[in-house]
Amino acid sequence: MNNLAPSSEVLAGAPTKVVEIIDLEKRFGDRVILNRVSLDLYEKENLVVLGRSGSGKSVLIKCMVGLLKADGGSINVLGYQVPLLSVHELNELRLQVGFSFQGSALYDSMTIRQNLEFPLKRNLRIFDQEVLNEKVMQALKDVGLENTVDMNPDELSGGMKKRIGIARTLILKPKIMLYDEPTSGLDPVTASEINELILQVRDTYHTASIIITHDISCARQVSDRMVALIRGESKLQGTFDELRGRNDEDLKHFFNY
C-alpha cells in the first residue's frame, strides 16, 4: 500500500504544492537541531533556505527524503508522507528528487561519461549505448560542458565539477532539485555562473528547487522565496526584498544592516 496523502484541493490557476513540511522536529541526543520547522514548496519555484553553518539546513533536506528519521511533525513530498514510507517507497520517491551535494560527489575513477551513465544504468536499467550517449550528451549540453565527456574529474575546475554533478542529477529528470551549498568554495564569478545555471535548470526542466545556503549573493540571485532558519526554527519567510526589509536582528549578519 502506497503511503500517499490525498491531494489538497487546488484552486484553478493556483500553484501546486509539491512539498509541505509542518512542525518538523529533529534531535541528536539532547541537542535540538530542528524545532517545529514548517515550509512549503510549489511547482517551478526556487525556495532558498538561508542560515548559518550548523543551523540544521542540511538535516532538513535529509529528513525530507528519509535519509534521517524525523522525531516529530509531518513531511509530505510529491504526495508521499515520508515518515510512513517503506524502503521501497522511499527509493521510488528518491528517483524523483535530485541532490546536488556540497561536493560534486563524482567518482574519480570514472570518466565524465561513465559518471553520467552510472545512474542511468543503476536506476533506470538503461544499457543501450546509443540511448546512453544521447542522454549523456544532452545533460552535458544543458550545463555547457559537452567537451568534457571523455575527461576525468581531476582534470576539471571546482566550478566545472559542480556543473557535472548537477548534470548527473538532471539526467534522471527529477521533479524536485535539492542544492546543498551550491556556491561553497567558489570564487564570485564562478558562483554567479552556478547561480545562473540553477535558474536555467528551473526554466528548462520545470523543477521545483530547495537551495540550502549561507551565501546571501546566491540567495538574492536564485530565490523566488526564502525561509530563514534561525537556531533550528523557520523564523522568517518571504521574498529576498521582504526579508531584507525586516531589519531583523537575526538577519543582520547576512544583510549587513
Q: Is position 180 within any domain?
A: yes
Per-residue pLDDT, 7: 41
Residues 190 and 141 in one domain: no
Residues 22 and 87 in one domain: yes
The parts of the chain modelled with pLDDT lower than 70 are 1-14, 103, 257
Per-residue pLDDT, 103: 67
Collapsing DSSP to helix, strand or coil, 126 comes out as coil
Please state the length of the chain: 257
Per-residue pLDDT, 100: 86
Nearest to 169 by CA among 161, 222, 217, 75: 161
Residues 119 and 73 in one domain: no
Per-residue pLDDT, 256: 76
Domain end point (choices 173, 207, 230): 173
Residues 85 and 187 in one domain: yes
Q: Is position 11 within any domain?
A: no
Residues 166 and 181 in one domain: no
Domain end point (choices 173, 207, 229): 173
Residues 158 and 185 in one domain: no
Residue 136 CB: number of other CB atoms within 10 A? 22
Q: 3-class secondary structure for the chain?
A: CCCECCCCCCCCCCCCEEEEEEEEEEEECCEEEEEEEEEEEECCCEEEEECCCCCCHHHHHHHHCCCCCCCEEEEEECCEEHHHCCHHHHHHHHCCEEEECCCCCCCCCCCHHHHHHHHHHHHHCCCCHHHHHHHHHHHHHHCCCHHHCCCCHHHCCHHHHHHHHHHHHHCCCCCEEEEECCCCCCCHHHHHHHHHHHHHHHHHHCCEEEEEECCHHHHHHHCCEEEEEECCEEEEEECHHHHHCCCCHHHHHHHCC
Domain count across the chain: 2
Query: What is the model's pTM?
Result: 0.88
The string of pLDDT tens digits covering residues 109-144 is 999 999 999 999 999 999 999 999 999 999 999 999
Domain end point (choices 139, 156, 173): 173
Nearest 5 degrees, angle CA 133-CA 43-CA 46? 85
Per-residue pLDDT, 52: 85
Q: Is position 102 within any domain?
A: no
The string of pLDDT tens digits covering residues 96-107 is 999 887 767 788
25 vs 34: CA distance, rounded Å:
5
Q: Is position 8 within any domain?
A: no
Per-residue pLDDT, 9: 41
Residues 22 and 132 in one domain: no
Q: Which amino acid is at 93?
A: L
Domain of 192 in residue numbering reads as 17-96+175-255
Query: CA-based Rg of the chain, rounded to a whole angstrom?
Result: 18
